[in-house]
Amino acid sequence: MSTEAVPFKVADLSLAEFGRKEIRLAEHEMPGLMAVRAEFARSQPLRGARITGSLHMTIQTAVLIETLVALGAQVRWASCNIFSTQDHAAAAVAVGPDGTPEDPKGIPVFAWKGETLPEYWWCTEQALTWPGQPGPNMLLDDGGDATLLVHKGAEFEAVGSVPDAADDDPEEWRVVLAVLRASLADSPGKWTAVAAEIKGITEETTTGVHRLYEMAKAGTLKFPAINVNDSVTKSKFDNKYGCRHSLVDGINRATDVLIGGKVAMICGYGDVGKGCAESLRGQGARVIVTEIDPICALQAAMDGFQVARLEDVVATADIFVTATGNYNIITAEHMSKMKHQAIVGNIGHFDNEIDMAGLARLPGIRRTNIKPQVDEWTFADGHSVIILSEGRLLNLGNATGHPSFVMSNSFTNQVIAQIELFTRGEEYPLGVHVLPKHLDEKVARLHLDALGVRLTTLTKEQANYIGVPVEGPYKPDHYRY
Amino acid sequence: MSAPSASSPQPAQAVPPQAMPAQSTPSQVADPGQAAAGLARIGWAEHAMPVLGLIRDSFEQQQPFAGLAVAACLHVTAETAVLVNLITAGGGRLHLAASNPLSTQDDIAAALAAEPGVTVFARSGVDRRAYYEHIHRALDAAPRLVIDDGCDLVNTLHAERTELLAGVRGGCESTTTGVARLRRMAAEGTLAFPMVAADASRTRRMFDNFYGTGQSVIDGILRATNTLLAGQVVVVAGYGPCGRGIAERARGLGAQVIVTEVDPVRALGALMQGFRVLPMAQAAPLGQVFITATGSRDVIGPGHVAAMRDGAILANAGHFDVEIDVRALAELSAAVHPAVRPHADEYLLDDGRRLILLAEGRVVNLVAAEGNPASVMDLSFAVQALALAWLAGEGGEGRDGRGGPDGQMSSLEPGVHEVPAEIDTQIATLALASRGAGIDALTPVQQEYLDSWRQGS
C-alpha cells in the first residue's frame, strides 16, 4: 500500500448527499451531542486539539466528528473495522456540511466498507499522520488499534527494528508488522514523535479498555487514558440496549430466518450478552447462555436462561452469537458439529471469537458467498453453517450497528472525555481513568427530555437524609446500577 | 321490589306444577361465628368486582330470578359470595355446596349462611362422603337453575336425584373439565336439560384461564413453599390457556420453563414463544418445579417420579387431583411427612430423595392460595350471571309449559350450549367501562367497507 499522502479516501463521494440527509436525521436522535455543541459553541474547549479517531465510520460517528469540530478540534478519522464503514457517512464527512463532492470541505477520513487488512492498517496510519504536524495530540480510539500502532511503532523504534511474525501469529499481526516495518524504513522516529505529542486517549470499548489496563499494568502505557466504556451511560446503555437492538437487526437482515422457536446460544453474559439474550428471547427464541464467570452465569440462570457448555449443546442450537471479548470461543470443531445451516455470528469487538482461520483450514471445507457479509461454509460431509460478517461483529457488518440514540450516550461521554483530557490533563496522571460520576450523570441528564422523562428533584431535606448533594452525584463510585 | 322489565320472566306466582320434594335443609357451615370476618372479605372482593356490581344493579331492577331456586356447586370463596349475592339480588334463592373438599373458606360460608335467601353446605376439609352429602342437601331445594363447577352437581342430579331432573330449566358450568363431562353426557343422550358452557367464552378464556390461573397458581406455589423461582427449571404440563399463563408468569419470575404437551399445535405455540418443549420423561430429571395444567390424568406418573431430582416440587393446577398420580408417588415412597409446611407434604423415596407434593395434588391455586384474583373472577362470574339470566328469561317462550318461573321449560334443547356472543360483548364493554378505557366505534363507512367484497386493492 502506498504511503503517498491523499486528503482523504472513501468509496464514493457521490453518496455524500444521502449521508448528509441521514446525518440530519441522526442529529435529532442524538440530543446529548447536540446539547454539548450548544453548551460549548462559544468557549471552543477543543481549540488546538488534533484528534485522530479510530472508530466505526457510521452516520452516528459523523455526528460525533462534527461535534468535535464544532468544539474547535481538528480531526482525522479511520474506521476501526474493515466492514463497519457506512460509505455514505464517510462521503458526507469528507465533503462536509459546506462542501460539495466536487469541492469537498470536510475532514480527512480514510474508510470504506470492505477494506482488506492492509488497506485497513493503511487507513489507520493515514489517520495518525498529520501533514505538517508531528501527529495528533489526542486519540479517540475504539478497540485500541490506533493506540496499538503508536505504542508498537514507538516500541520498535526504540529497539531499532520490527520483529518477524511467528508461525502461529494471526494474519492481522503480520500486516501490522509490515506497516511498521515500512514506516521505520521510510520515516524512522515517526511513532516516537507521535507518542510524545499525545496528551491522552479516550477509549470506547471493553476490548480496548482491557488492552489499556494491561499496558498500564505492564508499565508500557505512554499517555493517560479515559476509559469511556465503563461510564455507566456507555456500557450499561450502548452494550446492553444497543446490542439488544442491533443483534436481531443484523440477524434478520443477513438471513431473514424466523427467530421464534429457534434455540439461540449466547456465549458470554456480560452487558452485551445480556442485551443479546433479552432480544432473542423477545423474538421467541429459547436462549442458552455459556459463561466462565460464576457471577454472570448465576445471573443468567436467575434471569431464567439455561446455562450450558457449548460442547454439550452445540448440536442442538440454531443460532450462535459470541459476546465474550475473548478468543477461540467457537472453534472449527464446534462448527463442524453444528446443525445444518446453523447461523454463527459474533458481536464481540474482534473477529477472533469465532475461529475463522481454523474453519478455513478444515480439509474439504468450501465457502459459498450468499450475499455481502453472509457466507455458507460447507463441510466435507455436505452439511453447512452460515457465517455472518466473516466472524466480525455482525451488528455492524450485517446491520447498521447501534441506533443513534444509544450512540449519543456513548459519544457524549467521548466528547466530554476529550474535553477533560485536553483541558484538564493535569488532573489525569498517566494511567487509565473513568469519568467522574457527575459527568456520567450529566450525559444521562442530556437525554431525558427527548424521551419525555420528568425527573424528580430531591428536596434539601431528602438530600441531607441520604447524604448527597441535591444536584448529585447521587451514587457512590462503586454503585453498580 | 321494582317492576320487572318486559323481557324478564314474571315473578313466580304459581308453584311448580310437579310436586317436588322441595324441602330446603338449613345451612351447614363450620362456624357461624366467623360471619363478620367473612362479610368484611366479601366487601373487599366487591370492590374488585366492578362488572358484577354493574350487573347487580340491573338485576335488582329486573329481577330475572324472581322466586327461582338455584343450586350452585362452587368454590366457596369471597368472589363466589359476590355472585351468590347478585343472584339473590335478582330474586333467586340460592343453595350453595362446595365444589372442592379443600377450597371452602369457612368465614365466607358463615357470612353467606347469614344472608337471606342463601343456604350454604360447605366446610373446609370435609371427606368425600360429606362432600357429596352437601351436594345432595343443595339439591334438596329442587332447583330450577343450576350452577356447576366441575360437573359434580349435575352428575349427582343425573345419577342419584333423577326425580328432580324434570324441574331443572337449565344451568351453566364454569370449568373446562366440567364442560367436557357435560359433552360426554350430551353425546350419550343423558343430559336432561340445557347447560351453558361458561368456560368457553372469550372473556373467560382470556381473563380467567390465562391471566387469573397464570398468576394464582404461581401464588399458590410461592405461599406453600416460599421457593425462589428465579433460576429454577419449571416444567409446565399442558400449554392450554392455563398452561400458557403459568408458563409466562413463571418465566417472568426468572424461571427457565419447559413445556410438555400432547397436542402438536399447542406444542408448536410453546416452542415459538421460546419455551423448551420436551416429553415429560425427558423433562422429569430436569425440573425443580412441576405444574400440571392438562385436564387429563396421570400426567406425572411413577416413571417420572422415579427420575426426579431431590427436592422437586409437584403441584397441580388442573381441576381434579388425578393429574399427578399421588397413589403411585405414595407407593414409591418409604415415608411421607405430611404438612412440612401448610399444603406441602414431603414424600421420602427409598434412595433418600424427597419430593414435595403441594395441596395433596389438588388444584394448588385454590388450596394453597386464594384462587383467581377477584378482578378475574369478576369477569368469569359475569358470564355465569348473565348466562343464567339468559336461561331464566329466554325460556319464557318455551315449549311445553313446564319448569320455568312461570311454569315453562327453556326453549333450548337439552345439551351443551355456547355462551351467546352478545353476553361476551356486554361483559367486555362493562369491564372496559369499569377500568375507564374507551374504544372506537366503526363509522358507517368503515362498516360498509368491512361488509363489502367489492373493494379491492
Per CB-CB distance under 8 Å, the chain B contacts of A261 are 268, 271-272, 274
Pairwise CB contact (< 8 Å): B273 & A281: no
List, for residues B171-193, the tens digit of each pLDDT value: 999 888 899 999 999 999 999 99
The active-site residue, picked from A79, A235, A336, A352, is: A79
User: What is the identity of the amino acid at A463?
Assistant: A
Render pLDDT for B289-323 as a digit per residue (tens, 0 to 9): 999 999 999 999 999 999 999 999 999 999 889 99
- pLDDT score recorded for residue B24: 64
What is the predicted pLDDT for the residue at B401?
39
**C-alpha to C-alpha distance for B9 and B12, rounded to whole angstroms:** 8
At B146 the pLDDT is 97
Nearest CB among B254, B271, B273 relative to A304 is that of B254
Grid cell 499525545 in the structure block, residue:
A198
**Do B255 and A286 make contact, defined as CB atoms within 8 angstroms?**
no
Residue B177: per-residue pLDDT: 87
Residues of B with Cβ-Cβ distance to A305 under 8 angstroms: 256
Per-residue pLDDT of chain A (481 residues), as tens digits, is 444 456 999 999 999 999 999 999 999 999 999 999 999 999 999 999 999 999 999 999 999 999 999 999 999 999 999 998 999 999 999 999 999 999 999 999 999 999 999 999 999 999 999 999 989 999 999 999 999 999 999 999 999 999 999 988 889 999 999 999 999 999 999 999 999 999 999 999 988 999 999 999 999 999 999 999 999 999 888 889 999 999 999 999 999 999 999 999 999 999 999 999 999 999 999 999 999 999 999 999 999 999 999 999 999 999 999 999 999 999 999 999 999 999 999 999 888 999 999 999 999 999 999 999 999 999 999 999 999 999 999 998 899 888 999 999 999 999 999 999 999 999 999 999 999 999 999 999 999 998 999 999 999 999 999 999 999 999 988 888 8
Biggest distance spanned by C-alpha atoms of chain B: 73
A341 catalytic per annotation:
no
Output B271 or A478, whichever has higher pLDDT. B271
Q: What is the pLDDT of residue B380?
A: 86
Q: What is the pLDDT of residue B409?
A: 56
Q: How far is A406 from chain B (nearest CA, A)?
A: 26
pLDDT at B287 over 60: yes
Read off the pLDDT of residues B351-389 as tens digits, 9 standing for 90 and up: 999 999 999 999 999 899 987 788 788 988 999 999 999
pLDDT of B176 reads 84
At B109, the pLDDT band (50, 70, 90 cuts) reads: very high
Q: Among partner residues B256, B268, B271, which is closest to A304 by beta-carbon distance?
A: B256
Query: Cβ contacts (< 8 Å) between B256 and chain A: which residues?
Result: 301, 304-306
- C-beta atoms of A285 and B275 within 8 A: no
> Under DSSP, is residue B316 helix (H, G, I), strand (E, B) or coil?
strand
CB contact under 8 A, B272 and A261: yes
pLDDT of residue B19: 38
| DSSP letters spanning A326-387 | SS-SB-HHHHHTSPTTEEEEE-SSSTTSB-HHHHHHSTT-EEEEEETTEEEEE-TTS-EEEE
Give the residue on A whose Cα is nearest the Cα of B230. A302
Cβ-based neighbours of B118, under 8 Å, separated by 6 or more: B27, B84, B85, B88, B93, B94, B95, B96, B112
How far apart, in whole angstroms, are the C-alpha atoms of residue B140 and residue B20? 9
Q: Would residue A383 show up in a list of annotated catalytic residues for this protein?
A: no
Which member of A151, A334, A402, A433 is catalytic? A402
Which set of grid coordinates corresponds to residue B337? Answer: 411427612
Please give the model's pTM, rounded to 2 decimal places.
Answer: 0.75
Predicted local confidence at residue B8, as pLDDT:
40
Side by side, the strands of the sheet bearing A319-322 are A306-307, A286-290, A263-267, A319-322, A342-346, A384-388, A374-378, A366-371
Give the ipTM: 0.70
Q: Which of A74, A126, A227, A229 is catalytic?
A: A229
Contact A302 B257 (CB under 8 A): no
Chain B residue at shortest CA distance from A277: B274
B271/chain A closest Cα distance in angstroms: 5
Which residues does chain A have within 8 Å of residue B276's beta carbon, measured at their own beta carbons? 286, 306
How confident is residue B225, by pLDDT bands cut at 50, 70 and 90? very high
Give the residue from B234, B256, B257, B278 with the most A CB atoms within 10 Å of its CB, the best one to mutate.
Answer: B256
The residue in chain A having the minimum alpha-carbon distance to the alpha carbon of residue B275 is A286
Q: What residues of chain A lie within 8 A of the CB of B231, using their CB?
A: 298, 301-302, 304
Give the three cell numbers for residue A112: 470504506
DSSP single-letter state for residue A196: H
Compare CB distances from B255 to A281, A287, A304 and report the shortest one's residue. A304
The catalytic residue among A66, A238, A291, A390 is: A238
Question: Which of the residues A80, A243, A267, A276 is marked catalytic?
Answer: A243
Q: What pLDDT score does B205 carry? A: 73
Q: Indicate the angle between helix axes B128-139 and B152-160, nearest 10 degrees.
A: 70
pLDDT band at B12 (very low <50, low <70, confident <90, very high): very low
Q: Does A349 participate in catalysis according to the annotation?
A: yes
Question: In this structure, what C-alpha cell is assigned to residue B61?
Answer: 331492577
Other residues' Cβ atoms within 10 Å of the Cβ of residue B411: 15
Q: Which of A261, A142, A153 is nearest to A197 (CA)?
A: A153
Band of residue B410 on the pLDDT scale cut at 50, 70, 90: low
Q: What is the pLDDT of residue A75?
A: 98
The secondary structure of residue B330, as a DSSP letter, is H
Instruction: Tell me the chain B residues in contact with residue A304 when contact means C-beta distances shorter than 8 Å.
Output: 230-231, 251, 253-257
- B272–A contact, CB cutoff 8 A: yes
Catalytic status, residue A238: yes
Nearest to B274 among A284, A298, A302 (CB): A284
So what's the pLDDT on residue B10? 42
Check if A199 is active-site: no
Identify residues of A whose CB sits under 8 angstroms from chain B CBs. 260-261, 281, 283-287, 298, 301-306
Count of A-B CB contacts under 8 Å:
38
- What is the per-residue pLDDT for A458? 96
Q: Is B266 on the interface with A (CB under 8 A)?
A: no
Active-site annotation holder among A27, A87, A125, A204: A204
To the nearest whole Å, the CA of A310 is away from the closest chain B CA by: 17
Res. B208 pLDDT band, cuts 50 70 90 = confident
Q: What are phi and psi of B146, to 5 degrees?
A: -130, 145
- Residues pairing with B257 in the sheet: B234
What long-range pairs does B129-135 form, CB within 8 A, spacing at least 24?
Answer: B130/B101, B131/B98, B131/B101, B132/B156, B134/B28, B134/B97, B134/B98, B135/B73, B135/B97
